[in-house]
Amino acid sequence: MNRILALPMKTVGQMVAAGEIRPGQLADAALKMTVAIKPLNAFVTVTGELLKQQSRDADERQMTKRLLGDLDGIPIAIKDNFCTGEQLTTCASRMLGNFVPSYDATVYRKLKEAGAVLVGKTNLDQFAMGSGTVDSYYGPTKNLWGSSFMQNYSIDGRFHVDDIGRSNGLSGTEDWYIAGGSSGGSAIAVLTGTCYAALGSDTGGSTRNPASHCGLVGLKPTYGLVSRHGLIPLVNSMDVPGILARTVDDAVAILNTIAGPDPFDSTTYKRVYTPIQLPARVDISGLRIGIPKEYRCSGLTNEVESNWMQVGQLLEDAGAHILPVSLPHTEYSIVCYSVLNQCEVASNMSRFDGVEYGFRADEYSTTKELYAKTRSQGFNDVVRSRILTGNYFLLEENYENYFVKAMKVRRLIAQDFDKVWQSGIDLLLTPTMLNTAPNYSDFISQDNQTQCSVQDYCTQPANMAGIPAISIPIKLSNEGLPLSVQLMAPKLCEKTMLAVAKWIEDVVKFPVLVLKDDSLIS
């Protein structure tokens, strides 16, 4: 079973269809893995009883040859800011610590209808406001890479992970690598083999960031291609459901399941979604791939830059044209995002007032005091700070100088991308992150805004422009930590982007983590 947990989701789906393994067996192994990886704190809620019932239903469909498709019986996980009917949805906050929605987010409903089974709801920064999964009400999520838990794994079955990245001493209680955020719990759930794919949300890079730090594929679709209905909003104009998986093919399978128009979300594209089919052999000759000069910036480590250039050389050697391009307003993206993020946060968080649902303060004598105490106690410092700052930006005397100017800069950032596409560039190749996963103590020595300004530099512009982007793991650093690159494409050009991502994946052959034995799940 340890080998099966490490297999691509597509392969396991074929095994289920052939009757070589039962969905119930996969669910049992996944449930046991949630216990084994508890020290990493990937899950807020493990949906054990639901998982068992859903897997029994899948077993019956398998026996009667009525499987619903390639995802039937496949264990998945969902970030805990997507509504799941009759299951806790907390946003990793005290404010929603007891919130049980009465309906499913559209993306989860579609996965259920395809037969996928839910292992649990994964950890995140409170209300997805972070880039490390360190600000959760339930505690931070730890990265598997470089942790003491890595002793249970080998890489591709060739050597034990004890042989790499263990001389750094990051196996203690306080000094370990972050998983990235805010979808860090989803990333660790997939990385450890607890599930085959997971949903995250991506507002400024919150799917691609943990994918990069954990050595996974992280896909942010075009804004509007996937419904946001049931995703508790952070920044409505940028939020996108994202996908974390071990392979590009698996990310495509999830995208094909959840994409498409939704009457509950007016921002989705209205045209019917055509499932993406990637060719068995990808030909990249003739493709024009841009290298934005602005991504060679302060904070970019030599190792990350070298990895980026090596991938560019691989593409060029295979016949692609690698061309320098400019996105001149990139340097303003983080400041612009900080203003718009906090303005929309201030609006979105206003619904949490202790009146209709969520946390309510115990002691108050007036309605005003109820609001004040509930929001003071229910939100952490990061959320409160963004609410206050956003309301300041939106004051009548500040509105033009902050919100309106930020919207104008956002338009310039989007126009930078449009000009690049109009010049004949098919894709952009950049680093996903400026560095490998930082260790926890170094990371939390910075305030939340500084953390995000560093971690989101390469990923955030794609959200400003609404374009698709994907992070692909490439190799391990000298410390034994994942290094990745990012591809970006014009709106709705996921097929080309995913095909090139698959080509890169096939060429670099990033190592797969495999449990050494079945002792953790037997």
Closest to 290 (Cα-Cα) out of 196, 405, 425, 476: 425
- Asked if 121 is an active-site residue, the reply is no
- Asked if 182 is an active-site residue, the reply is yes
b/e burial code for range 452-464 (CB count within 10 A of at least 16 → b): bbbbbbbbbbbbb
Dihedral Cα 397, 456, 350, 391, nearest 10 deg = -10
b/e burial code for range 213-239 (CB count within 10 A of at least 16 → b): bbbbbbbbbbbbbbbbbbbbbbbebbb
Check the CA dihedral 296-473-223-453 and report its sign: negative
Strands 482-488 and 469-476: what pairing?
antiparallel
Instruction: Please report, as a single letter, which amino acid is at residue 283.
Output: D
Strand order in the sheet with 288-292: 43-46, 117-122, 75-79, 197-202, 240-245, 217-220, 469-476, 482-488, 427-431, 288-292, 321-325
Which class for 492: exposed (0-12), middle (13-18), buried (19 or more C-beta within 10 A)?
Answer: middle
Residues 6+ apart with CB under 8 A from 404: none
- Asked if 38 is an active-site residue, the reply is no
Strand order in the sheet with 159-160: 159-160, 153-155, 513-515
Residue 347 to residues 240, 301, 387, 407: CA-CA distances in angstroms? Answer: 18, 37, 8, 16
Closest to 259 (Cα-Cα) out of 271, 250, 248: 271
**Angle subtended at Cα 67 by Cα 81 and Cα 521, rounded to the nearest 5 degrees:** 60
Dist. CA 447–CA 445, nearest whole Å: 7
Helices (H), 165-283: 184-191, 208-214, 248-258
Residue for token pair 């799941």: 84
Instruction: Please report, as a single letter, which amino acid is at residue 75.
Output: P
Tokens of 354: 């202790």
Q: Which of 154, 182, 227, 453 is catalytic?
A: 182
Residue 11 to residues 74, 112, 421, 473: CA-CA distances in angstroms? Answer: 11, 20, 36, 20
Q: Which of 55, 79, 201, 212 is catalytic?
A: 79
User: DSSP secondary-structure letter at 46?
Assistant: E
Reduce the DSSP state of residue 318 to 3 states and report it: coil
Q: Which of 186, 206, 212, 471 is catalytic?
A: 206
- Which residues are catalytic, by number? 79, 182, 206
